[in-house]
Amino acid sequence: METWMIVTLVIVLVVTAALIALYIFGSKMQKKQEKAQADMMVGAQTYSILVIDKKKMKLKEAGFPAIVLEQTPKYLRNSKVPVVKAKIGPKVMSLMCEPKIYDLIPVKKEVKAVMNGIYIIDVKGMRGGLAEKPAKLTFMQKVKAKLAKKEK
């Protein structure tokens, strides 16, 4: 066998081993995430909250209790998280929310929030409903829209 064939064979084997390792690691992480999500839903309660403000800010600057910062891994302490400042009853609190629902939360409106501790899992509109975010257009849809504008 020639050397280029051996080198190619070794490269193919290494890439295959890396893909298999990534697949196994990914499936383990997915199971772990599903279990954590199920655990959060078990202890969740519904509250009526008045959203005062929302923004993405660093965990240290958000004003969370010290225990939250202690329990967060060190490599995530400087990352930005979606934070909602809301009034729950007579108290004004800083809450963390799911990144998927951050855009759905209306500011200066009352909503029903499914929460576990200081983490907002889901929101529902109190009066009326939540304004749905418009769906993102694909590249082809954007091009067709521009062409339609030019034709008019």
DSSP 66-113: HHHHHHS-GGGTTSEEEEEEEEETTEEEEEEE-TTTGGGPPTTSEEEE
* Together in a domain, 48 and 67: yes
Q: Does 68 score more than 90 pLDDT?
A: no
Structure tokens at 22: 């990534």
pLDDT classification of 17: cutoffs 50, 70, 90: very high
| Arithmetic mean of pLDDT over the chain | 88
Residues 50 and 117 in one domain: yes
Q: Are residues 76 and 120 in the same domain?
A: yes
- Overall number of domains in the chain: 2
The model's confidence at residue 130, banded by pLDDT at 50, 70 and 90, is: low
Mean pLDDT, range 122-150, rounded to an integer: 80
125 Cβ contact list (under 8 Å, min separation 6) = 106, 111, 112
Predicted local confidence at residue 84, as pLDDT: 93
Do 60 and 90 reside in the same domain of the chain? yes
Torsion angles phi and psi, residue 94, rounded to 5: -95, 130
Please check whether residues 31 and 83 belong to one and the same domain.
no
CA distance 63 to 85: 10
Same domain, 12 and 49: no
* Domain match, 56 and 25 both: no
Does residue 50 lie in a domain region? Answer: yes
Residue 25's domain comprises: 1-42
Is residue 83 scored above 90 in pLDDT? yes
C-alpha 87/C-alpha 110 separation (Å) is 9
Q: What is the pLDDT of residues 85-125, one digit of tens each?
A: 999 989 999 999 988 888 888 888 889 999 988 899 988 87
Residue 140 domain-assigned (yes or no): no
